Amino acid sequence: MLINMKYYITTIGAIFIALGIGILIGFNLDGDIMISEQQLEMVNKLEEKISEVKAQNETLSGTISGMEKQRADIEKYIEYSSEHVIKDRLAGKNIAIIQTTEDYFYPNTGAFLQKAGGGVPFELLLKDSLIKDLDVQAFNQEFGTSFATSADIVNHLCKTIFEEKNMVFANTLAQKGYVQINAGSMNLKNIDAVVIESGGTREDKEKMQLFDGNVIEYLKGKNVRVVGVERTDVEFSHVPFFKAAKISSVDNVNNILGEISLVMALDGKSGHFGEKETAEAILPQELN
């Protein structure tokens, strides 16, 4: 539907250009300010075409508005009935959230997981400054560490949280402005799964590998279930990266269908769910 809209808009532009050229030619023929009958006929046909395209655009706009309203109504109904689908689905599960982008907000993920019965020990944001501003050598001198790269720091951060079961190093990074911690239950003893919230305004392979790549690799090595999520409106999708890393993904976590898919994925349904071309299905086939 969006492709048709672009086509019609382009067509209108082309018609106006053609109309202008035709009139200009008419005014310049032998210096005579007269337009031939043939040109007048062409102008009339162009005007008819413009009216036709305008009418088609109005029809398309009305159709799109109607479909958007219908979708909103359906999502509202699903939201009202979703409690039955997700009730206690994540009961007893402890699910951490790691956000690897500052380009987009994910304010509702934790609350929805809790609605499904899950526990959320913390939400951790890896900030851009961790890759842009951190001087590893200066950091080592200040804290008596011996990291060689920023990747070493990310890996050590994961190790202290998931193996040593403490947030000491995370708090150090937070004080320096490299991460942000939103505390939840802070139960680090048994973390069953991790949600990675991602997506960018542009492609940044270095950042994607440093944050998403290192975190996913570490967690998979510890047999922790990982699900990558993003919003429908991200300009650069990380789903292909998640696919290559062989973890499940949800590309529409900012709406109710995506939230349900996330709960199902954390409960054991594998796949790539959502609305984009990279998705395999809008929802897991079996919701029970």
Beta pairing, strands 122-126 & 179-183: antiparallel
Answer yes or no: is pLDDT of 94 > 70.
yes
Q: What is the pLDDT of residue 39?
A: 61
How is the chain split into domains, by residue range?
A: 2-84, 88-273
Mean residue pLDDT of the chain comes to 86
Place of tokens 């939400």: 123
CA gyration radius, the chain? 27
Quickly state the pLDDT bin for 33 (edges 50, 70, 90).
Answer: very low
What's the average model confidence in pLDDT over 214-218? 97
d(CA 88, CA 260): 13
**Hey, what are 213's tokens?**
């790549």
What's the average model confidence in pLDDT over 173-190? 94
What CATH number labels 88-273? 3.40.50.2300
Q: Are 136 and 153 in contact (CB under 8 A)?
A: yes
Reported as a single tens digit per residue, the pLDDT across 138-158 is: 999 999 999 999 999 999 999
Of residues 164, 191, 163, 161, the one with CA closest to residue 179: 161
Quickly state the pLDDT bin for 4 (edges 50, 70, 90).
Answer: low
Answer yes or no: is pLDDT of 95 > 80.
yes
15 burial level (CB within 10 Å; 0-12, 13-18, 19+): middle
Residues in the chain: 288
Quickly state the pLDDT bin for 201 (edges 50, 70, 90).
Answer: very high
5 burial level (CB within 10 Å; 0-12, 13-18, 19+): middle
Q: What is the pLDDT of residue 10?
A: 55
**Hey, what are 65's tokens?**
């508005």
Of residues 283, 280, 243, 279, the one with CA closest to residue 261: 283
Beta bridge mates, 200: 236
Q: What is the pLDDT of residue 288?
A: 60
Quickly state the pLDDT bin for 165 (edges 50, 70, 90).
Answer: very high
